[in-house]
């Protein structure tokens, strides 16, 4: 127990984190426990002879026999009587279990405790395991019950991935690549299903669906690159396929996209730890994650529908470094979505409602097409770096006043910081102005609006 004492708090924290999936909070708790244990250690590191004798008295139900013998001077007349009494007690009563011996120096205890904490910091993958292993297994279990052989194979792959994510020997980059592989596989399967269903359908629905196919084919490479887009695609396609298996595939796609975002964020944070911090501009504000810039680069690299390119061409994938850009784009989009408080599922859902099969391109693609950096629909800002917000004020009414707005309604103090106000709304939204794609702005003389 003595050897385990300094390691106990980190171990307790680790198990609590694994159970709750919230490692940082438990780390804070563990530090408190560690300090308490160390204080306890310091307080009781010295045991005097009277204390030891008193312990024996308590443990053996003696009436201060041992305390008297331990503290009295030799040669007292009645001392032999006390000794005889103590011997009789020692013969009758079993020895009490002694408390743990604490002979280790305090410095060693503290050092071991600190090592335990460092160990925790060096294995952050455990947090990922704790936080994400379960949903994947759940989805895999759902897919395993599907009659389709492809779904069952996907279930097996999901389980395999979940195990890989729990493997502490794998680095974040390795895990990220595995997740991306599975995402790509899911997307390919989805496209194949889409093509099959399109081929089998009648021509009555023709024009719009044909357009959707073209859009989808054109954005194929982008679908692989954008981390938040294919979730909508998966969901939509899952819905087309129908049944619980399709829904599970959609959720698997969402989970994988989320995982990819987290893993890439981890990788970025690790790589960014060694770099000096950039100076922060005065005036405060919330800084958007660095992923936004990378996303921009990735989007450019993967843009299959950029001006001057045929949407049917594989696009940016063919460019040197395109593969890297794809991975970065996946990594970059996710944090941006998180920063704006808007998950990929929401974006996908909104697009599905409005545009049927064309929704396979996802709203982000549309936004990229219609808005340049600094603009954005629905309060989102493409590549926005700094925003100024006003926190919600207390909703309690003062006596004699009345409420004129809905509770919780928040009005920004300034539109949205130093970014220019957005122009027309997103495609499909009722507006007095027609949304103008970026590539046409120059031609129409509305660039820079």
Residue 103 binding another protein, by CB under 8 A: no
By beta-carbon proximity to another protein, the closer residue of 29 and 52 is: 52
- Judged by CB under 8 A, the chain residues 390 through 419 that form the site for another protein are none
- Give me the least distance between CB of 66 and another protein, in Å please: 9
Give the span between the Cα atoms of 6 and 362, in whole angstroms. Answer: 52
Figure out which of the listed residues 29, 37, 60, 79 binds another protein, where binding follows CB under 8 A.
Answer: 79
What's the min distance (Å) between Cβ of 81 and another protein? Answer: 4
Using CB under 8 A, pick the residue from 78, 199, 391, 405 that binds another protein. Answer: 78
- Asked if 77 touches another protein (CB under 8 A), the answer is yes
Taking CB under 8 A as the binding criterion, the range among 36-44, 87-95, 237-245, 329-337 that sits at the site for another protein is 87-95
106 binds another protein (CB under 8 A): no
Closest distance between another protein and the C-beta of residue 94, in Å?
Answer: 17
Site string for another protein, 54-73 (x = CB under 8 A): x--------xxx-xxxxxx-
Least separation, in Å, of the C-beta of 69 and another protein?
A: 8
Whether 6 and 106 have beta carbons less than 8 Å apart is answered as no
Can residue 81 be called a binding residue for another protein (CB under 8 A)?
yes
**Number of residues this chain uses to bind another protein (CB under 8 A):** 25
**Residue from 2, 83, 208, 210 in contact with another protein (CB under 8 A):** 83
The answer to the question of residue 206 lying near another protein (CB under 8 A) is: no
**Does residue 93 touch another protein according to CB under 8 A?**
no
Give the binding site for another protein (CB under 8 A). 50, 54, 63-65, 67-72, 76-88, 90
């Amino acid at each position: 127990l003595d050897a385990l004492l300094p390691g106990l708090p980190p171990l307790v924290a680790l198990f609590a984190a694994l159970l709750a999936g919230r490692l940082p909070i438990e780390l804070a708790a563990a530090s408190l426990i560690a300090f308490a244990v160390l204080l306890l250690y310091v307080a009781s590191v010295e045991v005097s002879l009277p204390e030891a004798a008193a312990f024996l008295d308590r443990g053996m139900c003696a009436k201060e026999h041992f305390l008297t013998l331990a503290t009295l001077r030799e040669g007292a007349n009645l001392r032999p009587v006390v000794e005889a009494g103590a011997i009789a007690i020692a013969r009758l009563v079993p020895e009490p279990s002694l408390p743990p011996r604490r002979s280790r120096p305090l410095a060693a205890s503290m050092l071991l405790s600190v090592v335990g904490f460092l160990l925790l910091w060096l294995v952050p993958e455990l947090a990922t395991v704790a936080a994400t292993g379960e949903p994947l297994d759940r989805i895999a279990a759902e897919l395993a019950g599907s009659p389709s052989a492809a779904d069952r194979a996907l279930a097996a792959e999901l389980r395999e991935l979940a195990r890989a994510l729990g493997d502490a020997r794998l680095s974040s980059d390795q895990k990220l690549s595995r997740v991306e592989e599975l995402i790509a596989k899911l997307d390919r399967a989805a496209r194949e299903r889409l093509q099959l269903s399109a081929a089998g359908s009648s021509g009555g629905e023709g024009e719009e669906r044909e357009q959707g196919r073209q859009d989808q084919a054109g954005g194929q490479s982008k679908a692989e690159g954008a981390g938040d887009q294919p979730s909508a695609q998966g969901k939509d396609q899952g819905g087309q396929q129908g049944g619980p298996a399709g829904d599970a595939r959609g959720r698997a796609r969402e989970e994988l996209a989320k995982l990819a975002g987290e893993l890439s964020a981890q990788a970025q944070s690790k790589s960014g730890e060694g770099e000096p911090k950039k100076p922060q501009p005065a005036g405060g504000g919330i800084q958007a994650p660095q992923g936004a810039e990378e996303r921009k680069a990735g989007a450019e690299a993967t843009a299959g529908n950029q001006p001057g390119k045929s949407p049917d061409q594989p696009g940016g994938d063919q460019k040197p470094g395109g593969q890297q850009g794809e991975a970065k784009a996946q990594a970059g989009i996710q944090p941006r979505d998180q920063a704006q408080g808007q998950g990929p599922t929401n974006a996908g859902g909104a697009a599905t409602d409005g545009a049927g099969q064309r929704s396979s391109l996802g709203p982000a693609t549309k936004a990229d097409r219609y808005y340049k950096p600094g603009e954005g629909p629905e309060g989102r800002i493409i590549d926005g770096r700094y925003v100024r917000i006003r926190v919600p004020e207390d909703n309690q009414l003062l006596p004699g006043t009345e409420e004129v707005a809905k509770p919780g309604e928040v009005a920004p103090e300034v539109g949205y910081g130093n970014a220019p106000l957005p122009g027309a709304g997103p495609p499909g939204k009722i507006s007095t102005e027609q949304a103008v794609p970026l590539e046409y702005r120059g031609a129409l003389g509305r660039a820079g609006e």
